[in-house]
Amino acid sequence: MMWCDYLKYPYVVLYATMTVDGKIASKMGYSKLSCIYDLKRLHSIRASSDAVLVGANTVLKDDPLLTVRLVEGKNPVRVIVDGRLRTPVNARVYNTLHEAPTIVYTSTRAEPKKIRLLRFRGVEVIVFNKYPIPMDFVLKDLYKRGVRSLLVEGGGETIWFFVKERLFDELRITISPYVFGGHKAVSIVGGEGFRDTSDAVRLRLLEARLCECGREIHLRYVLEK
């Protein structure tokens, strides 16, 4: 039995493509770092997952579809964590419900009118009375809905919440051969960070391989319990 089954959480995979210096987006928000093989790898994991989750900033900056397009497979349930409901109602994840259902987790800080509008359109909106949104609550609720595998695609602040509480099983990273630099570039993990290695999250490397493109490296880690 996996630990996630015992705790009634889905199996959580964090996935990110970053530069050599650990950035997932430049200071201008540019984030197209993946080669076609990395994109196919990501879409393959999407297709094998029950749900895919991103934070509000990812929707605001990238307006992703979060569907499976580059490989054969089913579309996962799309999950947006947006504590203040900042994402626009015309975002593609809300306007393509015929392709895949979308669940939004927000809080009482959200505008009630916007909640009603999204629900009218068919988006399932879950409102917590806590802010920031507690990720363990989200995972437990998703598990109750039948989600047993969850892919988390970012961004940096969202990944931090999973890392901080150790609410993940795998971390998969593709290293793209670029250096962005800059204090305002987005790191793979945001948040306040840990003090040192005594309280940092420890990982165990399972796999390291050269991407089919010959220019990127894909790493697969598991969380050390």
pLDDT for residue 4 is more than 70: no
Res 187: pLDDT: 97
Condensed to tens digits (0 to 9), the pLDDT of residues 107-137 reads 999 999 999 999 999 999 999 999 999 999 9
Domain-embedded: residue 1: no
Contact 149, 10 (CB under 8 A): yes
Instruction: Count up the domains in the chain and report the number.
Output: 1
Domain-embedded: residue 153: yes
| Span 147-168, average pLDDT | 97
Domain-embedded: residue 96: yes
Domain-embedded: residue 77: yes
Domain-embedded: residue 112: yes
CATH of the domain at 22: 3.40.430.10
| Mean pLDDT estimate for the chain | 96
DSSP strand E in the chain: where?
11-19, 23-25, 51-55, 77-81, 102-107, 124-128, 149-152, 170-176, 186-187, 203-210, 217-223
Domain-embedded: residue 113: yes
Domain-embedded: residue 202: yes
Res 7: pLDDT: 63
pTM of the model: 0.95
pLDDT for residue 26 is more than 50: yes
| Span 95-101, average pLDDT | 97
pLDDT for residue 36 is more than 60: yes
Confidence of residue 8 (pLDDT cuts 50, 70, 90): confident
Provide, rounded to the nearest whole percent, the portion of the chain with pLDDT above 70.
97
Domain-embedded: residue 46: yes
Range of the domain at 39: 7-223
